[in-house]
Structure formats: structure tokens, C-alpha cells
Structure 1
């Protein structure tokens, strides 16, 4: 009888394992033959995909933003100096061909009793009413002062043809407009 129980246990274990393998195989076949959610939408051919990103530390923030349909820029904001800069690369050579700079403390004065704390983000826009020589970049840079709640938007002039020929562009960044996102005053404790 003892011998029969051992064999029975092995037989039951084998049957259970076989049953699990069968169910797993059936589920895998069903999953593999079911249309994937991503196959319901495909990205149109020839339409560029653009993504922006941003990150920061205690003293600096960086972000990327689309400058035109071929290049993006790297935006840096130094919290210590207030310097906002955008660097743009030539898409053919991988060398920097654009450098644009301003100081945000002109529009966002620093409270000397507080450590500067900024937020940085970029957005896309299609400016209208500008000549090709004076056309702003397709990137708007947004800077917010986390201490005061004030924010300001910046851009820079961009000549698309100059970048592809390797001509360096370097001008001050242009302040566009700003406002206040916080309607209360924070007191220092």
C-alpha cells in the first residue's frame, strides 16, 4: 500500500503538471493570436515623432525642445547665476551651431533671503507673422520661480538654413511673456 501511495502521488503530480502546462500553452496561443492593442494604431510614415524631456538638481535644470523639424536644442538653467542657455547641434555634423543666452533674473528677480528654486520646461509652437530671417525657433522655454510663483516664456531667432550649412548662430534669447501661477505669498519661517 505504501508503494501504491508513492506512485499515486507521482501520478497525481504528473497529471497536475501536465494540466498546468496544457492550460499555459492554450493561454499563450490565445494571447499570441489575439490582435495586439498597438496594432490597432500605426504611426503614419514620414511623420516625425518629437519628445521633450527635463530634469534638475539643486543648482541646475536641463531640458530638450524642438527647434525646427530637423533639430532639437538642449536648454540649461543655472540656478546660481540665473543664466538660461540653449545649445543646438548641426544634424549632419553633430557639432554645435547654435548658442542662445539670457539671464532670467531680469524677468524673475531673486529674493536674496531665499535659495533660488526654478522649474524648467519646453513647448512647441509655430510662430506666425515673421519673415524667414526673423522667425523664432519652434521651441518655447518656460521658466518658473518656485519661490514666488512667477513664470516667464523665452525663445530665440532661428534661421533653419544656416544650421544645415554649418553657420553658427548666437543671439540673446528673447523674453516673450510671463505671469504669476501662485496667488498666495509664502512667508519665510
Structure 2
């Protein structure tokens, strides 16, 4: 009787192949983990060195960007406004060193611009006007107010602030623009000043369109 050749066991063949593959995968995983661990350590060390070399303000704000020497982020100068049922408030620059605070009383129509002198820390400039004269008044009238920049000729006889103030009667849609006769020379001399806000122009948010004029 002839002996038949023994067939190889497929499972033993797979086991012999799997052992070297698993060993190679394990070594690759070790090398990859070591690489990333080294990169993480280097990054932490670089951040630590940068923080140590920075100023105290940099340490308190770790999220602030690191800029090249001689560079700095631009600053933002902005005005603000807010309104309630009885009052409206806004701020606006009257010069390169001073800011005006505008307060409008909706009931009386009195608009006041108070200017703080930066050297003294006191409100020594005051300019007023009654907006009812230009915008009218009525039961339940409400107002909105904001400021804007202006570049008009100024002189000692006709001083002007850097801002104008806009007031809108939301009931009628009529608005007015006032400028502030603010004197920078008096502020530099720490002298108080006061006067009236001057009406510059008026307009309407719902004008009557003259169709014949635009044809």
C-alpha cells in the first residue's frame, strides 16, 4: 500500500505567517509613538521658551498671537449708542484726546453733550439743544441717536468738534444732524466751556418722491 503525502495544515501556515507580521506591526507602532512623543515634547519646550521670553502680559494671555519684532496689532476705536424708553445715550470723539457723552431726554427733548477733560478728569464742557425744535414732538414720540465723524473747516472763530450727532424721531421719521462748537484751545488751557449744539441739516426717512424731477 502506497503512503499518500501528508497535506499541510492551512491553520499552521497562517500562524507561521501571522507571527512576523504582528511583530513588524508592533515595531512600527512603537516607532510612530516615539516620534510623536518627541514632537510633542519639542513643541511644549518651544512654547515654554517663548512664554519665558515674553512680558508678564504675554504670560497672562497665552492665547494671544506671537508677532515678529516690530509688529503690533491695530487698535480699534469705536463709538457706542444705546436707547431706552425715556433716554438715549451715545459717545463720540470731540478731539484726538477727548470724547463727548451725549444724553437725550425723550420727554423734554433736551440733548446734552458733556465733555470730560482728560488732564483733569472732570466734565468741563457742556453743549445743549432742544431737538423738539427741529424734529417736533407728540404723544408717544420716541427717538434714536448716534454719532458720526466730520471733517469740516475749523478756526478759532468757528471751532468744531470731530464728531456730529444724529437724532431720529422714530414716530415721524424726521432726523437732524448737529455739530459741536468745541474749542480745543480752551480744553488745553483747562478752561471750562459751554454753548449750544448747532443744527447742521435735517431730513426724512420717508421722503416724498417727486417723480417728475427724476424723469
**TM-score, normalised via structure 2 length:** 0.62
Q: Distance in 2 between matches of 1:166 and 1:49?
A: 28
Aligned to 2:206, the other structure's residue is in SS state coil
Q: Distance in 2 between matches of 1:38 and 1:104?
A: 50
* Alignment equivalent of 1:121, drawn from 138, 146, 149: 146
* Alignment equivalent of 1:76, drawn from 93, 103, 119: 103
Q: Find runs of 4+ consecutive structure 1 residues off by over 6 angstroms.
A: none
In structure 1, the gaps of 5 or more residues are 1-18, 185-189
- 1:10 alignment counterpart: none
Shift of 1:165: 1.8
Greater relative CO, 1 or 2 (CA 8 Å, sep 6+): 1
**1:128-147 to 2 correspondences below 5 Å:** 128=153, 130-147=154-171
Number of matched pairs: 152
**1:1-189 to 2 correspondences below 5 Å:** 42-43=72-73, 49-111=76-138, 114-128=139-153, 130-183=154-207
**TM-score, normalised via structure 1 length:** 0.70
Whether the 8 Å contact between 1:50 and 1:66 is mirrored in structure 2 is: no
The 3 A distance-change label for structure 1 pair 117 and 127 is same
Q: Distance in 1 between matches of 2:126 and 2:165?
A: 14
Which structure has the greater CA radius of gyration? 2
Q: Distance in 2 between matches of 1:122 and 1:42?
A: 29
Shift of 1:159: 1.2
Shift of 1:151: 0.5
Shift of 1:50: 2.6
**RMSD, aligned CA:** 2.9
